[in-house]
């Protein structure tokens, strides 16, 4: 963060003033990207603050760490409790973003990370609202390909993996787009730099399968459940680039993005260039559930106050 966003950060079992938290320049994660992290949202409905799928996010954090033999000193239950305690310590009552970060510390310069390597867990929280425009985003196909499971695990939310996303984002911004779409090594649609992708054609919803180098997104899974409960058919399969151009609607999902309409791909207008009806219906359901307005999904929420 460029500036202070809350009074306290939780790190290694302690609440510390935001400005006081530093790491040594020799921290292994700074040199080699040996970190895993999560992005989690808290939503305020005026009466309480609700964390969306807290436990599922922390479970994925631990799975990501295990892929790289990064050891966590803390259990899923402990980390969940620390998140809630940090929000209370900072008196956060407005909608916010929560970032747990598990990283390798003073291991040395060799690359043999093991369960015995020193690790640290930090959690930061800060106020957060809309990430993308509600009216939709214009995208382009990136010349960079999505990382491949034969090189590094795409399903692990690891810091080093996101250099791939940085390159794709830089490219799209230089070319005047809001976001990029990456293809996998087979030339099929994979995902955006920080979002999963859904394509709608003839009232059916398609999304790339996990074998297409996608992150197993928590918002992705929630969206599939919402769509099924609304009566739509959701099909997980490989999607070609040309299918994007002929789609009736496209939207992306993610913690930051929530459910955001894609209104253009490579200067091809998607649908009528506006947020589509199915996208809006799913997005409205998502917004209502995270604000605890739908009883059906209340077990996805953790109340803070």
Residues with catalytic function: 157
Distance CA 111, CA 32 (A): 8
- Whole-angstrom CA distances from 269 to 152, 265, 274 are 34, 7, 9
DSSP for 1-50?
A: --S--SSEEEETTEEEEGGG----TT-HHHHH--EEE--EEEEE-SS-EE
Distance CA 221, CA 262 (A): 19
- Is the dihedral angle over the CA atoms 108, 113, 117, 119 positive or is it negative? positive
Go through 92-131 and write b for each residue having 16 or more CB atoms within 10 A of its CB, e for each that does not. bbebbbbbbbbbbbebeeeeebeeebebbbbbbbbebeeb
């Amino acid at each position: 963060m460029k500036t202070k966003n809350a009074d306290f950060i939780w790190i290694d079992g302690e609440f510390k003033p935001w400005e006081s938290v530093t790491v040594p320049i020799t921290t292994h994660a700074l040199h080699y990207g040996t970190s895993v992290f999560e992005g989690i949202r808290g939503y305020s409905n005026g009466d309480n603050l609700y964390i969306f799928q807290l436990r599922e996010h922390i479970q994925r954090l631990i799975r990501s760490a295990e892929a790289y033999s990064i050891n966590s000193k803390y259990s899923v239950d402990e980390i969940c409790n620390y998140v809630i305690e940090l929000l209370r310590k900072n008196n956060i009552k407005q909608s916010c973003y929560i970032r747990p970060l598990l990283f390798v510390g003073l291991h040395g310069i060799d690359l043999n990370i093991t369960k015995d390597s020193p690790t640290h867990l930090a959690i930061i929280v800060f106020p957060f609202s809309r990430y993308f425009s509600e009216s939709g985003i214009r995208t382009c196909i990136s010349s960079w390909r999505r990382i491949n499971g034969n090189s590094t695990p795409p399903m692990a939310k690891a810091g080093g993996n996101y250099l791939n996303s940085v390159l794709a984002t830089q490219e799209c911004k230089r070319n005047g787009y809001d976001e990029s779409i990456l293809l996998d090594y087979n030339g099929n649609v994979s995902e955006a730099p920080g979002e999963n992708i859904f394509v709608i054609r003839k009232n059916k919803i398609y999304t790339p399968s996990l074998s297409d180098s996608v992150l197993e997104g928590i918002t992705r899974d929630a969206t599939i459940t919402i769509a099924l409960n609304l009566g739509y058919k959701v099909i997980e399969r490989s999607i070609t680039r040309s299918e994007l151009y002929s789609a009736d609607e496209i939207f992306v999902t993610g913690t930051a993005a929530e459910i955001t309409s894609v209104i253009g791909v490579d200067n091809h207008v998607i649908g009528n260039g506006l947020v589509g009806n199915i996208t809006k219906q799913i997005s409205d359901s998502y917004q209502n559930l995270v604000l605890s307005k739908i009883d059906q999904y209340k077990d996805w929420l953790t109340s803070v106050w």
